[in-house]
Structure 1
């Protein structure tokens, strides 16, 4: 549910004419800081070898445009990013600005660690894309705005798969026809060791067949549509069209080496794939499932409730949301979609004409959380993946898997 927009506060633009005196947002009363205010911005993207320098250049442009605010990246290792930042914030510290993934966002918002942004963000005025934006409210209060969204699509090797499938039956047939010798038609995660990745993969099957993990208030893990999507996932597993046992790093390298025909992945994969093999002849298409609904890596930018310089933090967010900056941020992040609709440059479309496919899916994508149970998503995810893998291995049916997952997960969140 969206909150009723409140009157928007006056924009705080720390441009060339702005005084260097910045009011803080401390609860104990406003303080003044002499000279430019330095904010820390934590984003796992900074550690990405391909995208990190691009995001840093974007931040550098902001810094060059300001007299009163300087943004510095906070160095947090990717594997422990979410837990590290949440621990810092829970202790009353942490970065001023954070680009969170949705599970950590849900946890932070529910714990009261984020500053409400209802008076900062006017969705109608800014033209925010409604699909992603609806997930940034907790108890009708806004706690973030989209920094970037990477929608899931079907990547395909155009030399191995000249025509992308448009239905599930075609998807299966194409994978079977492409699988020959050392070449596989498809690849996805299927081991408990890659729990998070398996969750991301099965998410597309569940939503693509019309299912969902909850109705927002109650868990619906054993819903018939969920089972149907997971049975489709098992169909692909049983068809022997994937390199079974291969982890993501291995089969993504195989994709770049012309040894895998198709893979479901998000927009961040574009830069990585081109970096591995710039000459690979690949393209993307919508996932060919019955319902146009798929997962997305949605990453909101938030303000730490502990920050002493909230007004300065708002300045960066407002600058980022301006149309010119939205386009520049999109160019920096490649295949990502932004908080607002943007138009791709002629140069980027000449290089990668398929980029519009990602943007067209933004409002039918969903974050890979259990809606209404964001903080409990990791526990629910672990249960679901465990039961799905047991079904893949022939220990039970998918129906039985989801019935067991529903019962165990209700024990964690409480039965309705």
Structure 2
């Protein structure tokens, strides 16, 4: 599936650079077409919010150091970008003709960069079939029929549950709702999710699973479908659980995640990246992860591609690192660094990691049914559409309107926003 974002034409100078460098780039790594050609000597920068993660950053830096030690032509150095403003900072730099050579983007920023002509096309440089790229997430990295990235990390959403409170994972939404009710006693809640405007982005992530899980989607790729019946069904399921008083209302994510770690919350829907954080918060917590038990076997995913800056003066060097990273041994090491996330190609979990977290295979099996949390066909406008949707949904949650009316309003506002 290709995103149908409109992409402005690039300048003549950039087109000339791309045309002149296409042959050299295509042959810079054995991973792309079997050539043994080497890139020109260069020091390049790599910007990734993961590098600032205290749990995973050191492991990623170690992998970069391994690449640097493997040859004497290219050196990769981390770019210093503050995490809170990472995406916007890098986009601003790239828009000014600068920025890091390599960028690990989240999908909203990737969509903006790709549709704005800020990323190098990888059409002739990446052989998806030869590399055995996992098709489910990989299909989202094509914009206007051009590839602009390769999966760096894909973190699938599943149902985390406390096995001491809930020995068997519910298999249907009805069981899910009943289990949440049965588990809610005293200061223990059966479920937790975000439900305040202050956590708008988090609410969007949470309701995404309900919308997809009940067969809905925010668009059909060309037209917005915010008020479609199945979208409303998913949002009404979300409201049903809110009204059932099975969540700690008003609690933000940081608070209810601590509650989950301390055995005060039975279930929550979260992505694979939460596994390491949960274990760090309470090493003795007896928890597991299962597929979200909604009618449709589809769920959200935090998809993060690695990309090449169109402004880079060392595109061949940047591509060399990407192709090195895509080799089987490096893919296994990267997955070990990322924890419960999946990577660009199929990998085999170690016996040690499966003994520690048997549910990792469950999370991996969700990869092909995961959907990145953007509005298909409207990636650059996702943040604005998100604000409209979350505002209307929360108003319905508070009883000021019904969900169908809320989404009719959201549809009208969003259509005016995008002009179609």
TM range (shorter): over 0.9
Q: What is residue 218 of structure 2 aligned with on the other side?
A: 213
Q: Distance in 1 between matches of 2:341 and 2:118?
A: 27
Question: Which residue pairs with 2:328 in the alignment?
Answer: 323
1:74-131 CA-to-partner distances (Å, cap 9, x unmatched) read 1212211100000000011111000000000000001100000011111111111111
- Unmatched 5+ residue regions in structure 1? 24-35
Q: Determine the structure 1 residue equivalent to 2:60.
A: 55
Maintained 8 Å contact 2:28/2:316: no
Tell me which of 223, 230, 247 is aligned to 1:225: 230
- State the shift of 1:279 in Å: 0.9
Matched residue of 1:117: which SS? coil
What is the distance in 2 between the residues matched to 1:394 and 1:255? 28
Q: Equivalents in 1 of 2:2, 2:315: separation in Å?
A: 23
Of 385, 406, 409, 1:380 maps to: 385
Post-superposition shift, 1:22? Answer: 4.3
Query: 1:189: which partner in 2?
Result: 194
> What SS class does the counterpart of residue 308 from structure 1 fall into?
coil
Q: Match for residue 26 of structure 2?
A: 9
Q: For 2:26, what is the secondary structure of its paired residue?
A: coil
TM-score, normalised relative to structure 1 = 0.93
Q: Which residue of 2 aligns with 1:395?
A: 400
1:9 deviates by 2.4
SS across alignment from 2:100: coil
Q: Which residue of 2 aligns with 1:40?
A: 45
The CA deviation at 1:11 is 3.7
CA contact (8 A) 1:41 1:97 kept: yes
In structure 2, which of residues 353, 366, 373 is the aligned counterpart of residue 368 of structure 1? 373
Q: CA deviation at 1:13?
A: 6.2
Deviation at 1:2, TM superposition (A): 5.6
- State how 1:299-314 maps to structure 2 within 5 Å: 299-314=304-319
Deviation string 1:270-298 (CA, Å, 9 cap, x unpaired) is 11111111111111000000000000000
Query: Offset at 1:158?
Result: 0.7
How many angstroms apart in 2 are the aligned matches of 1:228 and 1:268?
Answer: 28
Aligned to 1:343: 348
1:236 aligns with 2:253: no
Q: Distance in 2 between matches of 1:208 and 1:109?
A: 28
Superposed structure 1 runs of 4+ greater than 4 Å apart: none
Contact 1:13 1:315 in 2 (8 A): no
**1:116 correspondence with 2:116:** no
Give the superposition deviation at 1:56. 1.1
Deviations 1:300-353 (A, max 9, x none): 000000111000000110011111111111011100111111111111111111
Deviation, structure 1 residue 10? 2.0
Q: Does 1:180 align with 2:185?
A: yes
**Unaligned stretches of 5+ residues in structure 2:** 4-21
Q: What is the TM-score when the length of structure 2 is the normalising length?
A: 0.92
In the aligned structure 2, how far is the partner of 1:70 from the partner of 1:99? 17
- The corresponding residue for 1:28 is none
Structure 1 position 12, deviation (Å): 2.9
1:267 aligns with 2:272: yes
Coordinate RMSD, CA, aligned = 1.7
Q: Please say if 1:69 is aligned against 2:74.
A: yes
Trace 1:293-304 onto structure 2 (pairs within 5 A): 293-304=298-309
